């Protein structure tokens, strides 16, 4: 019996396109849904025309688009969002409309469509100003940005729908995901692709603050594995949220050194490029390190890629695509 399609919202985005790759490779029918505001058709161009893959251009904020996309769908991987803490501070209404109202609309449309399970992207930003390390589910602090508020409220709505309607919702708190296809352009680009682009131009990467802030950098392959684990996890995982990371931390100055070393192999001039420091940014968390015990125990998630492994895979891709 053929599997019903899995709907991947934000499927033309960074994490979403990698998830589409993995699902198609596993023989799972995929319905990729994206409004192409931050996603790119180029990210999924190699999948178009493949058996079982369908692209639908639509907006998570439009109920008609959601209803059409969900027709016949059994499971949803919800990755559509307006990411970036600084962007949410600059344009909080846009973040609220996509990340919170869009998610609530998805919950309602999925309930009406009889969807079995929704695996959705939350964020490590929900830990806010909590000083507890490592970050463990249940130790959340006060949100430090509108983005963090939207993700905290997504978790609250997901839990509510699970309790009220029995919807199988599984939340994944991603910690600083990086990898191939992550966009280095624009003011809200993530740190690793921005640093790589600067080095390739022989310009000093800009670090906000002293560079000793730590992050649990998580290669995109681990994030994809986590979504697949959550889609197939036992019913006990429904209504829960899970940290998805490596369970290790690295400060930004050390990260820059590791990038410099890898890039200097092919371009020795990179070895002489320094670092530029800028003022700290509002909303930034000082220290981040995940406890991934719960995800391991309930989802069967074990990170396959370390930070070094991820950099070894991502850096050559950027060298090829940003030259």
Beta bridge partners of 77: 8, 119
Q: What is the pLDDT of residue 184?
A: 82
Q: Does residue 50 form part of some domain?
A: yes
The Cα–Cα gap between 312 and 319 comes to 12
Range of the domain at 163: 6-175+220-246+290-304
Q: Does residue 226 form part of some domain?
A: yes
The CATH number covering residue 11 comes to 3.40.50.720
Q: Does residue 313 form part of some domain?
A: no
Q: What is the pLDDT of residue 186?
A: 61
User: The pTM is what?
Assistant: 0.94
Beta bridge partners of 277: 207
Q: Does residue 275 form part of some domain?
A: no
Sign of the dihedral through C-alpha 80, 159, 124, 153: positive
Is the distance from CB of 38 to CB of 13 less than 8 angstroms?
A: yes
Q: Does residue 207 form part of some domain?
A: no
Q: Which two tokens stand for residue 108?
A: 């309602």
Q: Does residue 82 form part of some domain?
A: yes
Q: What is the pLDDT of residue 281?
A: 81
The count of C-alpha atoms lying within 13 angstroms of the C-alpha of 255, restricted to the half-sphere facing its C-beta, is 29
Q: Which residues are tagged catalytic?
A: 147
Q: Does residue 274 form part of some domain?
A: no
Three-state secondary structure along the chain? CCCCCEEEECCCCHHHHHHHHHHHHCCCCEEEEECCCCCCHHHCCCCCCCCCEEEEECCCCCHHHHHHHHCCCCEEEECCCCCCHHHHHHCHHHHHHHHHHHHHHHHHHHHHHCCCEEEEEEEHHHHCCCCCCCECCCCCCCCCCHHHHHHHHHHHHHHHHHHHHCCEEEEEEECCEECCCCCCCCCCCCHHHHHHHHHHCCCCCEEECCCCCEECCEEHHHHHHHHHHHHHCCHHHCCEEEEECCCCCEEHHHHHHHHHHHHHHHCHHHHHCCCEEECCCCCCCCCCCECCHHHHHHHCCCCCCCHHHHHHHHHHHHHHHHC
Q: Which residues of the chain have pLDDT under 70?
A: 1-2, 186-189
Q: Does residue 229 form part of some domain?
A: yes
Angular region, 307: left φ>0, alpha ψ -120 to 50, beta rest: alpha
Total of domains in the chain? 1
The Cα–Cα gap between 198 and 158 comes to 39
First to last CA, the chain: 47
Q: What is the pLDDT of residue 83?
A: 81
């Amino acid at each position: 019996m053929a599997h019903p399609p899995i709907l991947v919202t934000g499927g033309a985005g960074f994490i979403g396109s990698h998830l589409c790759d993995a699902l198609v490779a596993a023989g799972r029918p995929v319905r990729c849904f994206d409004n192409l505001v931050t996603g790119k058709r180029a990210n999924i161009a190699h999948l178009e025309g493949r058996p079982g893959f369908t692209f639908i251009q639509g907006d998570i904020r439009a109920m008609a688009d959601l209803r059409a996309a969900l027709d016949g769908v059994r499971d949803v991987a919800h990755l559509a969002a307006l990411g970036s803490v600084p962007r949410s501070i600059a344009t909080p209404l846009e973040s609220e409309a996509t990340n919170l109202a869009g998610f609530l609309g998805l919950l309602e449309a999925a309930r009406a469509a009889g969807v079995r399970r929704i695996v959705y992207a939350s964020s490590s930003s929900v830990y806010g100003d909590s000083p507890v390390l490592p970050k463990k589910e249940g130790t959340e602090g006060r949100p430090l940005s509108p983005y963090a508020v939207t993700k905290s409220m997504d978790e609250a709505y997901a839990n509510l729908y699970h309790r009220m309607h029995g919807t199988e919702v599984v939340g994944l708190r991603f910690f600083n995901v990086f990898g191939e296809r992550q966009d280095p352009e624009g003011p809200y680009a993530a740190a690793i692709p921005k640093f790589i682009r600067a080095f390739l131009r022989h310009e000093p990467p800009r670090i906000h603050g002293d560079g000793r802030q730590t992050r649990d950098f998580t290669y995109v392959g681990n994030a994809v594995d986590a979504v697949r684990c959550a889609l197939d996890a036992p019913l006990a995982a429904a209504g829960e949220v899970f940290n998805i990371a490596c369970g290790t931390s690295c400060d930004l100055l050390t990260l820059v050194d590791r990038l410099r070393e890898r890039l200097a192999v092919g371009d020795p001039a990179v070895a002489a490029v320094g670092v530029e420091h800028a003022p700290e940014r509002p909303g930034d968390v000082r220290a981040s390190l995940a406890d991934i015990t719960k995800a391991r125990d309930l989802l069967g998630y074990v990170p396959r890629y370390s930070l070094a492994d991820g950099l070894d895979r991502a850096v050559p891709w950027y060298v090829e695509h940003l030259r």
